[in-house]
């Protein structure tokens, strides 16, 4: 039986894409080589008809923009905040949870592209804020940026969060957010969405590896109960966190958790929920898959599953349990 999947770009201005042109469309069976339509998740837009009407070719892809840097700040020794100006439409496109872009300090060197999640999109002033963890050669070059510099970006992209349907379905509920490390940055648009839908938010922030100071400014805009604790200890959910999570699920009748951190936090939380017989809890989490082109072409984002299935996670939108189920991880 075929798995029902979603493509983050389906029905947008970027669909059909180069995958459809190559006969590798994530959704459309006819653009996968079949001679008949076998869509399992009809959304009102026929990708095949869009492809034919566009001259049997992909639509124009994402654009590249040269943006003026307005502000930079080294929040900790390896945490860099950058604020830059973008066109108004792009600011609007990057408001939604899961938005990200590719950035590089050198307009002419595409090999320096780095995928970075959006911390905040100020549509009134057309200012995008991003937080970058300085890890290697690509990100170290960003330390040279100053106010007045030019930053080259490519976007918008939207698949920075798995489980978006679970997130969007939360209305007037009690919800829990677990955040750790650089995952606190892409957490802010998720909290904005939860707040807009009138949810009561409990946020548990790990005491390490970073201070939570850089998100405090943004959290002031929302009604959030913040708990500081150790979420991960020696590669496992800490005993302290297990008690707090279990109590919150029970006492506040929480049925949804967003996981804003590394994959180990998502995997271990799923294991813990399974162990306490809470597979009913809906989840969303950061998409931490390696990316290079963002279009599913280069193969950096692919993962293999049983049945010789290949999933392109820069575009494939799915539930977190289906991302980690059956995959092998090296800690």
Q: Does residue 123 sit in the same domain as residue 167?
A: no
CATH number at residue 147: 2.40.30.10
pLDDT band at 136 (very low <50, low <70, confident <90, very high): confident
Residues 197 and 258 in one domain: yes
Residues 284 and 220 in one domain: yes
Q: Which region holds residue 56: left if phi is over 0, alpha if psi is between -120 and 50, else beta?
A: left
Whether residue 195 is contained in a domain is answered as yes
Q: DSSP 3-state helix, strand, coil percentages of the chain (rounded to 5)?
A: 25, 30, 45
- What's residue 326's pLDDT? 67
Q: Last residue of a domain, which of 111, 137, 157? A: 157
The label of the residue with tokens 């911390």 reads: 119
Residues 141 and 178 in one domain: no
Q: Is residue 23 part of a domain?
A: no
* 272 sits in which H/E element: helix 263-275
Q: Which residues of 100-132 are buried (b: 16+ CB within 10 A; e: fewer)?
A: bbbbbbeeeeeebbbbbbbbbbebeebbbbbbb
Q: Which two tokens stand for residue 59?
A: 């639509």
Rg (CA), the chain: 20
Residues 173 and 272 in one domain: yes
Please provide the average confidence, as pLDDT, over all residues in the chain.
91
Q: How far is CA 277 from CA 107, 140, 215, 246, 284, in A?
A: 51, 44, 33, 11, 18
Higher pLDDT, 63 or 326: 63
How does pLDDT run across 245-300, given as a tens digit for each residue? Answer: 999 999 999 999 999 999 999 999 999 999 999 999 999 999 999 898 999 999 89
Strands 232-233 and 224-229: unpaired
What is the rounded average pLDDT of the residues 21-41? Answer: 86
Q: Which two tokens stand for residue 227?
A: 């708990």
- Of 128, 42, 136, nearest to 85 by C-alpha is 128
Span 158-182, average pLDDT: 96
In a domain, 261, yes or no: yes
**197-233: pLDDT as tens digits:** 999 999 999 988 887 667 888 999 898 999 999 999 9
In a domain, 295, yes or no: no
DSSP 38: -
Is residue 256 included in any domain, yes or no? yes
DSSP string, 110-171: GGG-EEEE-SEEETTTTEEEEEEE--SHHHHGGGG--TT-EEEEEEEE--SEE-HHHHHT--
Distance CA 320, CA 317 (A): 9
52-61 pLDDT per residue, tens: 999 999 999 9
Which of residues 116, 140, 157 is at a domain's end? 157
The verdict on 192 and 283 lying in the same domain is yes
Taking the alpha carbons of 254, 260, 266, 268 in that order, is the dihedral positive or negative?
negative
Beta bridge partners of 256: 282
Shared-domain flag, residues 70 and 125: yes
Residue 295: name the closest of 102, 39, 29 by CA.
102
Question: Is 19 part of any domain?
Answer: no
CATH number, domain of 238, equals: 3.40.50.80
Residue 207 domain-assigned (yes or no): yes
Tokens of 185: 């940055």
Which pair of tokens denotes residue 91? 């600011």
> Residues 240, 165: one domain?
yes
- DSSP 8-state assignment for residue 277: T
Which residues span the domain enclosing 259?
A: 161-288
Overall number of domains in the chain: 2
Task: Give dist(CA 153, CA 19) in Å, integer.
Answer: 22
* φ, ψ at 282 (rounded to 5°): -80, 145
Same domain, 132 and 91: yes
DSSP for residue 279: T
| Residue 275 falls inside a structural domain | yes
> In whole angstroms, what is the distance from residue 100 CA to residue 118 CA?
5
């Amino acid at each position: 039986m075929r798995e029902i999947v979603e493509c983050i770009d389906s029905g947008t201005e970027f669909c059909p894409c180069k995958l459809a042109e190559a006969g590798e469309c994530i959704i459309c069976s006819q653009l996968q080589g079949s001679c008949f339509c076998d869509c399992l998740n009809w959304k009102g837009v026929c990708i095949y008809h869009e492809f034919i009407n566009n001259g049997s070719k992909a639509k124009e892809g994402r654009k590249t923009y040269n943006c003026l840097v307005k502000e930079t700040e080294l929040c900790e020794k390896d945490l860099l905040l950058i604020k830059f100006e973008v066109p108004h439409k792009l600011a609007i496109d990057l408001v939604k949870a899961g938005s990200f872009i590719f950035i590089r300090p050198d307009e002419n060197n595409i090999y320096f592209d780095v995928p970075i999640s959006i911390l905040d999109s100020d549509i009134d002033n057309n200012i995008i804020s991003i937080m970058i963890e300085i890890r290697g050669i690509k990100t170290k070059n960003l330390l040279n940026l100053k106010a007045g510099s030019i930053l080259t970006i490519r976007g918008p992209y939207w698949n920075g969060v798995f489980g978006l349907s679970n997130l969007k379905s939360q209305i007037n509920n009690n919800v829990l957010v677990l955040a750790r490390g650089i995952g606190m940055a892409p957490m802010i648009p998720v909290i904005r969405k939860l707040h807009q839908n009138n949810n009561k938010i409990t946020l548990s922030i790990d005491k390490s590896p970073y201070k939570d100071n850089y998100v405090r400014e943004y959290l002031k805009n929302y009604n959030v109960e913040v708990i500081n604790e150790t979420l991960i200890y020696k590669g496992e959910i800490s005993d302290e966190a297990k008690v707090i999570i279990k109590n919150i699920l029970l006492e506040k009748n929480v049925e949804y958790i967003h996981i804003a951190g590394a994959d180990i936090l998502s995997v271990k939380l799923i294991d813990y929920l399974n162990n306490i017989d809470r597979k009913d809890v809906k989840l969303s989490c950061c998409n931490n898959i390696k990316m290079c082109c963002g279009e599913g072409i280069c193969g950096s984002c692919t993962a293999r599953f049983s049945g010789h299935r290949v999933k392109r996670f820069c575009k494939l939108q799915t539930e977190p349990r289906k991302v980690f189920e059956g995959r092998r991880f090296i800690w």
